[in-house]
Amino acid sequence: MADYIYLIIGIAVLLVGGLVGLVTSTVRRRGRTSTPPAPGTTTAEPRVGDDAETPRDTPTRTVEDADLPTGPVDTLEPAPVLETPESTAGRLVRLRQRLARSQSPLGRGLLALLSRDVIDEDTWEEIEDLLITADVGVAPTQELVARLRTRVKVEGVSSASVQDILREELVTLVDPSLDRSLAVDRKDGKPAVVLVVGVNGTGKTTTVGKLARVLVAEDKQVVLGAADTFRAAAAEQLATWGERVGVPAVRGPEGSDPASVAFEAVRTGIEQEADVVLVDTAGRLQNKAGLMDELGKVKRVIEKQATVTEVLLVLDATTGQNGLQQARVFREAVDVTGIVLTKLDGSAKGGIVVAVQRELGVPVKLVGLGEGADDLAPFDPAAFVDALMGVTAS
């Protein structure tokens, strides 16, 4: 009987417990149920960074905003400020100043020797030695001394006359009759093409960049061709020179065929109606045959589209007889039409101008005066001689 009573009590406890749990669950569910939104309203789920209780307002786009960009706006880089190259007149002034500082020992040395009270055979030998040391060359030196001997004997040796005589004879030696103009005018409706050659280390690629500045200062439209594909830095260097004055540079992969790059540069020049295409070439001198083949191919490929109007040989003025040997090799490889002498301001050997002109039979057309961007100037024989002698230009 007692067992029966306990069983009834247990069942009752279970029933009461179940009823209490059911009521509690119902209340919790009702607490989470929200009132449906009114018609025409919208709700937004909280976003990262939003408070669940106070979500951020979402901006509303209107009809006036429909054409505005919604994504991130790119910030355009400002266009590079192009440099303004120096004029030819300014370059010639610098030519006189630089050469007067660096080359005057030659002119002043000659003046000192010729101004002696007595000019004997020893003096003439000293004059010859001074000229040869300055890289004038043996034959030109002998010619100059012979003319000086005659004029000094006939005209006397007053300080004024000696200076005039020396200046006139040096100008004659440099030969002002040579045509030193650059062939950079369009021909047959196509750009003039200037091929720049020379061994590495002479400043060839830098000269191409500086020459572009000279032409831009003359209002020429220029395209650069980086056909020196064997030096990794050459194309990049040339492109940088071009960017500074707004001149495009055409280049190819390192080690690619130089002729194909030259061809593409000329094609680009024709398409853009440029005035001049400047083509930088490789400066390797492994053997004469290889150089001749490569330069010959580059020139032939270019001339399928346009005429090569100028072939400029870049020489380092400080190399003396080595520079003359390079000149001989390039003369055999390609028809050189003009010479560019670099580093002339760093050498007391101004006579290389005379020697290289005699060697090649072509004129010095440009001279490099220093490291500055505009330190490349047209060669002026009279200004050059005045600078050698330390004479102030009138």
Residue 322 annotated as binding site: no
The answer to whether the annotation marks 287 as part of a ligand binding site is: no
What letter does residue 84 receive in the DSSP assignment? Answer: -
Residue with tokens 């040796």, as numbered in its chain: 157
71 known member of a binding site: no
Q: Are 377 and 344 in contact (CB under 8 A)?
A: no
338 is in an annotated binding site: no
SS (H, E, C) 270-322: HHCCCCEEEEEECCCCCCHHHHHHHHHHHHHHHCCCCCEEEEEEEEEHHHCHH
| Sequence letter at residue 360 | L
Per DSSP (E only), the strands in 317-363 are: 338-342
**Is residue 275 marked as binding?**
no
202 is in an annotated binding site: yes
281 is in an annotated binding site: yes
Was 189 annotated as part of a binding site? no
Q: Is 343 annotated as a binding residue?
A: yes
Which residues are CB-contacts of 322 (< 8 A; sequence separation ≥ 6)? none
| Residue 392, marked binder | no
| Annotated binding residue 335 | no
Which of 145, 144, 138 has its CA nearest to residue 174? 144
Is 289 annotated as contributing to ligand binding? no
User: Is 342 marked as a binding-site residue?
Assistant: yes
- Known binding residue 267? Answer is no
63 is in an annotated binding site: no
288 is in an annotated binding site: no
- Tell whether residue 205 is among the known ligand binding residues: yes
For 296, other C-beta atoms within 10 Å of its C-beta total 13
* Residues placed in the known binding site for GTP: 198-205, 280-284, 342-345
* Residues placed in the known binding site: 198-205, 280-284, 342-345
